[in-house]
Amino acid sequence: MPPSGPGPDGGHRVRLLSYNIRSLRDDRRALARVVRACEPDVVCIQESPRYWRPGGQAAWLARRTGTEILAGGGRVAAGPLLLGRPGLDVLAVRDRLLPKTRGLHARGFATALLRAGGSAPFSVTSCHLSLDPAERYTQFELLPEQIEPGEHGVIAGDFNEHPDGPGWQLLAGLLQDGHPTAPWGGTFTSVPDNPYQRIDAVFATPGVRVLACGVPHGLPGVGEADLRAATDHLPVLAVLEIPAAGEDWPAPAG
């Protein structure tokens, strides 16, 4: 997998990790080891702790992974959290609390507009969508609104839907689905009871180059036992090349 940093065409490569951490209810030290081994620039967290010292627990995770809190983690985002390595420029925060169906969980989006090195600004959204099909489809419809017109953007998270679902197909018609665009690593993201589901993903606008995306295995210093002990999801790691400021690349064919 390519490293992060300046790219050969003047853009900037960003390693982005998406991870459902199940409210840190499992082996949190194993989880921190997994995150560190992925060497991410940006981490899209789902199910950040919401009810018991949420700010303190988010700060603990940031300290243990060598990152800083960028957005989310509060009552507005309602679970999603964005972490990032020191040195990223945070240009704006666009957290959003979503309309709630009576009797279901409150949900939201954690979004930040970022700049890495000499890159153009790009937005990153972490999301965790509903288990209810009708509510989930409405949330899929709202996700593209987190990206301003003409902006480079990334949407990552736990979509609680398979790639053949209507909401997933809606989003994949607008954005690049990272894993089929640049397959790398493993495909399936649920452990241990449903190992053959792909419900977690990274999507990117057409102007972002997806260089690699998938479930990491064989991480240095991290065994399969850590991946299974950390949470009930596997992480998704992507390398994305953001164009340089003032430049655009043609959309990928197909």
Instruction: Judge whether 248 lies within some domain.
Output: no
Distance CA 249, CA 254 (A): 15
Q: Which of 124, 165, 203, 156 is nearest to 19 (CA)?
A: 156
Instruction: Judge whether 113 lies within some domain.
Output: yes
What domain range includes position 117? 5-242
Instruction: Judge whether 105 lies within some domain.
Output: yes
Q: Tokens for 248, please give them.
A: 């655009």
pLDDT in tens, 180-235: 999 999 999 987 666 689 999 999 999 999 999 999 988 888 888 999 999 999 99
Instruction: Judge whether 198 lies within some domain.
Output: yes
Residue 253 confidence class, pLDDT cut points 50, 70, 90? very low
pLDDT in tens, 19-55: 999 999 999 999 999 999 999 999 999 999 877 677 8
Using CA atoms, how far residue 46 sits from 49, 159, 232, 239, in Å, is 9, 10, 12, 19
Domain count, the chain: 1
- The structure tokens 């180059």 sit at 209
Instruction: Judge whether 250 lies within some domain.
Output: no
Instruction: Judge whether 186 lies within some domain.
Output: yes
Contact indicator for 119, 161 with CB cutoff of 8 Å = no
Instruction: Judge whether 249 lies within some domain.
Output: no
What's 45's domain CATH number? 3.60.10.10
pLDDT in tens, 141-164: 999 999 999 999 999 999 999 999
Instruction: Judge whether 201 lies within some domain.
Output: yes
